Amino acid sequence: MSEQPTLEEFTESARNFLEANATHRPPASEFVWGQGSDDVAVFDEKDSEAELAEAAAARAWRAKRFDNGVGWISGPKEYGGHGLPGAYERAYSALEAHYETPSMGLFTISLGMVAPTILAHGTDEAKSQYLRDLYRGDTVACQLFSEPGAGSDLASLQAKAVRDGDEWIVTGQKVWTSNAHLSEIGEIICRTDPEMPKHRGLTGFVVDMTAPGVEIRPLRQMTGGASFNEVFFNEVRIPDTHRLGDVNGGWGVALTTLMNERASIGAGGGGGGGGLTSPRRIHAMLEHFGLANDAVVVDQAIRIYSQFMVARWTNQRALDKIKAGALPGPELSTAKLSLTNNLKAYSEWMGQVLGPRIIADTGEWGTYAWSKMLLGVPGMRVAGGTDEIMKNIVAERVLGLPKDPGIDSTTAFKDLRVN
């Protein structure tokens, strides 16, 4: 067994890899209104050709990273990882941030949600078959949870899986599935026992997205893009070795994925808002439109910026706990809720600042481009759990308030009988 390298040795090796395979990222230039791209879309929406080219570049970079020992730094060795502490992973991420590399957005769901779930709940065969390929970029995964009639109430899903010997036959529909058209596999939750209470009759699986009976259709959004898909399953066969967790234990599997999902979403901008909310950008915009001395507009800008900064610090505390080994907790629901609340407030304020400029494309820089953000924010209020679901989680698990009775709960039925 080789001796574990020191953090300094690992960092030096990683730096040598990056020097040989990537170029240095140029220093961030000072923001100047009217210069550079004015794209501020919430969802990264490209045409098919550009999307495929970006995906190919992302896969190639992940493969190169993996083959050079920095693809899954902290993962278990038996599944292709290197078994190093999380500090080594963070050190590499900090280094790579200084280099120009392809966007890794394609793997947000694969590595931020599905892979951790397979590692936690998958069979030995599924772990051996998929984890290495997921982290190398050979396989991309999507998440198949939401349904047309059960978007917010996941436990009400109706896609069914019926056992047939050593296989399961899946029939049903999923919706709002990001990257389904680019994925080789998906994590799906199905109803396997309709007689059990709705949270207990569910089972999770890894499904082959290229299997016979799988149909993927893009969903066009009001932004004009198609970031999501609806997926139909017509008697799709899944081997039992691809089951996640116990039969009818899918609710726990789903919670593992959802907690990791909210960690990914919260870390991805729920706090800071990045350059979009930088004081320099906001001030330049207000000056350009002659509003820098409008006390009401400036006060609104300061409030929005402050909310982004408070959320950033709150999120950082939660993410630091996860990096230290703690499991994702309900505070990540706060992070996700902060993201959508802040983006909603910011987009509405931008609508007030820009007025008619946001609805008519005159070609003026920094005006109509904001319509993509304004139209995209409602989608973020659904992604990863609706705002209403997040509020219930915070109320019950953070504030300790009584659970809101559902129509299918014993308490609810007792109340109905009394009345």
Query: How many residues in the chain?
Result: 419
Q: What is the helix (H) or strand (E) element at residue 249, kind and residue range? A: none
The whole-angstrom separation of Cα 129 and Cα 139 is: 10
Burial classification of residue 9, based on how many CB atoms lie within 10 Å of its CB (0-12 exposed, 13-18 middle, 19 or more buried): exposed
Nearest to 354 by CA among 377, 339, 372: 372
In whole angstroms, give the CA distance from residue 264 to residue 257.
10
- Cα distance between residue 382 and residue 377, in whole Å: 9
Q: How far is CA 288 from CA 6, 274, 291, 303, in A?
A: 52, 21, 8, 20
Planar angle of CA 183, 191, 217, nearest 5 degrees: 35
Q: Give per-residue burial for 147-171: e unless 16+ CB within 10 Å, then b.
A: beebbeebbebebbbeeeeebbbbb
| C-alpha distance from residue 226 to each of 103, 160, 237, 264, 376 (Å) | 19, 27, 28, 21, 11
- What amino acid positions are annotated as catalytic residues? 261
Q: Which of 201, 197, 235 is nearest to 215 (CA)?
A: 235
Cα separation of 261 and 142, whole Å?
Answer: 12
Strands (E), 148-195: 160-164, 167-174, 185-191
Question: Torsion-angle region of residue 235: left (phi > 0), alpha (psi -120 to 50) or beta?
Answer: left
Q: Which residues contact 218 (CB under 8 A, 6 or more apart)?
A: 181, 226, 228, 229
Q: Which residues contact 343 (CB under 8 A, 6 or more apart)?
A: 42, 273, 373, 377, 380
